[in-house]
């Protein structure tokens, strides 16, 4: 088909464009339509910081413990795409404890190793977050314990990240997902607890 230039409507017909017609570097960013779908594998210079995969555990039911040592609450198992990856960890744990200063704690664990915990200080428990009730109506309150941490495990093997929780006083109970008093009126809520793990390219 012959090449036809039409000056009246600024069109060209009969022109075929293929890879042999395009010189490397001749298409610049401005030439790419904003709605164009470009595969991530074709992008260069933006690999670091890319989200490679995600995992989540969500609980909408109530959890509780009387344990004075940490027990599992939420967990996500993920196999790294690369041993240089970083992992962004985010948790939300709404905890309720008994009134008059009683408390409970949360900590992050990679497999069996605690991470994102405070330094040693006397006999204090090394934890990621703690909820301490007030001296008035504390059992009607739920304290949102939230944590964000970037872990660098440097392993190609599957990793199980956990959120663990504990009660701090013998004979008491901590609840996650509702207030401890258990009042069922509609002005009290039941709320979810969740744990998100995101693998980020280094």
**pLDDT given for residue 198 in this prediction:** 97
**pLDDT given for residue 89 in this prediction:** 98
The contacts of residue 44 (CB under 8 Å, 6+ apart) are none
Only one residue has tokens 């258990």, namely 182
**pLDDT given for residue 138 in this prediction:** 54
- Report pLDDT digits (tens) over 79-93: 999 999 999 999 999
**pLDDT given for residue 101 in this prediction:** 75
Measured CA to CA, the distance from residue 22 to residue 202 in angstroms comes to: 34
**pLDDT given for residue 179 in this prediction:** 82
pTM of the model: 0.75
Q: Which helix (H) or strand (E) holds 57?
A: strand 51-59
Q: Does 4 score more than 80 pLDDT?
A: no
Q: Identify the sign of the CA torsion 129, 134, 138, 142.
A: negative
**pLDDT given for residue 202 in this prediction:** 85
- Report pLDDT digits (tens) over 30-56: 666 666 655 555 555 556 789 999 999
Among 161, 195, 164, 194, which residue's Cα sits nearest to residue 177? Answer: 194
Among 113, 51, 115, 40, which residue's Cα sits nearest to residue 82? Answer: 51
> If you count them, how many residues does the chain have?
202
Q: What is the largest CA-CA distance in the chain?
A: 91
Among 84, 90, 41, 110, which residue's Cα sits nearest to residue 200? Answer: 84
The end-to-end CA distance of the chain, in Å, is: 51
Q: Does 61 score more than 80 pLDDT?
A: yes
What number is the average pLDDT over the span 18-31? 62
**pLDDT given for residue 44 in this prediction:** 57
Query: Contact at 8 Å (CB) between 58 and 116?
Result: no
**pLDDT given for residue 190 in this prediction:** 87
* Topology given in CATH for the domain delimited by 51-200: Jelly Rolls (2.60.120)
Measured CA to CA, the distance from residue 73 to residue 64 in angstroms comes to: 9
What number is the average pLDDT over the span 129-152? 84
Percentage above 90 pLDDT, the chain: 58
User: Which residue did the predictor score with more confidence, 40 or 152?
Assistant: 152
Looking at every residue in the chain, the average pLDDT score rounds to 85
List beta partners, residue 199. 53, 87
Among 98, 183, 107, 186, which residue's Cα sits nearest to residue 143? Answer: 98
Where along the chain do its domains lie?
51-200
């Amino acid at each position: 088909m012959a090449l036809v230039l039409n000056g009246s409507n600024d069109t060209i017909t009969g022109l075929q464009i293929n890879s042999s017609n395009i010189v490397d570097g001749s298409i610049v960013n401005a030439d790419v339509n904003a709605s164009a779908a470009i595969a991530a594998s074709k992008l260069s210079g933006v690999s670091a910081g890319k989200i490679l995969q995600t995992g989540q555990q969500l609980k909408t039911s109530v959890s509780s413990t009387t344990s004075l040592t940490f027990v599992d609450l939420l967990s996500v198992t993920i196999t790294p795409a690369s041993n240089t990856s970083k992992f962004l960890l985010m948790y939300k744990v709404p905890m309720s404890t008994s009134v008059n200063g009683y408390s409970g704690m949360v900590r992050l664990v990679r497999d069996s190793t605690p991470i994102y915990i405070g330094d040693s200080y006397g006999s204090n428990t090394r934890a990621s977050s703690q909820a301490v009730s007030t001296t008035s109506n504390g059992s009607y309150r739920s304290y949102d314990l939230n944590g964000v941490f970037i872990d660098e495990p440097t392993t190609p093997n599957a990793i199980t990240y956990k959120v663990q929780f504990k009660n701090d006083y013998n004979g008491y109970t901590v609840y996650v997902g509702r207030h401890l008093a258990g009042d069922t009126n509609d002005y009290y809520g039941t709320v979810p607890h969740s744990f998100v793990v995101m693998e980020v390219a280094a």
